[in-house]
Structure 1
Amino acid sequence: MTTFAELPSFDHLLHYVPDVPEAVADYRAAGLPAHTNDAVSGFQNGGWRLDTRYVEILTVTDPQEVRSSLFARGVELLRPAIEALPGPAGALTFAVHVADARATAGRLRAAGHQVEEIEIRMAEHGVSFVEVFVRGGPSWHPFFITYDPPREELLAGVDPDAYERGPHDLSGLVVTAPDPQAAAHGLGELVGIDAVGACVPLPGATVLFEKGDEERLVAVTVTGDGPAPALKLPGLEVRFGH
């Protein structure tokens, strides 16, 4: 479906919460060993790191301060997804890693999409990344990301003891939609992977579609047994054994 080797794969899920340390405690109680980072520039996050993939747990701690930060435009572009949440917490969207986000942006523009590119440079960490947001679609639709240096190189430089993966792996995302097959087809066209029925086999996390009143990212599936077949984190269901 693509004219060059975009190599799309799951990168990370964005889980918005009112309080990151409290949400991280909920993750850990569920057997998903997340961690908390310090608040910086009006923004705080934490995460459950798997490998190059991760779940980002995030919040805005100071709206005024974040407006003048590196993250200002990204948070602004996520605002529709935050406002679409049915409560104070929930999954906003997810990132799809591609070989060249700017080339992906070109493909999407040629297909008639309104696209915005953001480049963030974090000199203190020796890393930069380009994010590509597609405007005008469902708020849960993914954005695209490419890192410099490449994400595999970044992970190779991290001490394996620096993060705790735990016994589980993220296997999929669950999206509700009035017409699951149509929603799957729309996502497939966006990321460049053919839908199979009501499923998009995105490497790193298959995206599954279920019947629902509205299009919304509602759950993650993980491998292995948990404290229950399914449990609720803040605004997000976790389904074990998949």
Structure 2
Amino acid sequence: MNNPALMDELVLSGKQAVLGAVNKGRVLVHMCRPMSDFLDAKTLKFSLPTSPTTGQLEINILMTRWKSNMHAYRYNYIVIAVGTVCMAALYFWRLLFAFFFSAVIFLFSHLSTIVKPEPIVIGQHVVSSRDKLIASSLISAIFFFVFRALTPTILLMALCFVMASIHAMLRSKPPALSAKRQEEAAEVKATNEATAVEEGSLMEEDLNNEGSNNNMRARGGGGGGGGGGGGVGHFVGGGGGGGGQSFKKME
């Protein structure tokens, strides 16, 4: 125990273990988020955090955001409960679990269609019942064939990934704005339109004023005077009159 090198190595190993655990937690939290966020590369941070405190803070922030939108992620919690019960029997009834998981996915897919008859949209793609059936079959097949090679941690992460996939399949159109929000949006739109009309009127008035000024900008002067009379003898005749002066309107 008096060996400094050994103590440093033990401390370093402990730090790496803590950072690794925090990093797994961050990945796990990201896997639990909706598919739209999961596919966004900006939200995926698989690098180790600078410290366990920083990593834990980020996990808390993400979990707070996830829980604050529980009404939008209600299917995730249902699948988490079902998956937790099924994972208790994972290493004993792999085949049963695969079939049961497929049935759960199929059930929730069609249940969402019954509860929400409007089309289910993911981005620009409308999910049909056929797509749901194919997806549930593929997911159950993948789970069945990879069970023997998965460790509990990786399996839990895969389950969270499938949970996010299920939520993406079941997610419908965003809810309509409330009456208050619609009223606020209408007021903002009316204000913007009134401002645009007023600015257009002022611009037209300025253009008209500028045209009038150009028309009255200059006027010509009067003609020159007549020539002087002839001289007698050696006297010279008088000079002609001066020209009129033009003027310019002051702007």
Question: What TM-score, normalized to structure 1?
Answer: 0.23
Structure with a larger share of its residues in helix: 2
The structure that has the greater radius of gyration is: 2
Question: What TM-score, normalized to structure 2?
Answer: 0.22
Structure with a larger share of its residues in strand: 1
Q: Which has the higher contact order (CA 8 A, sep 6+)?
A: 1
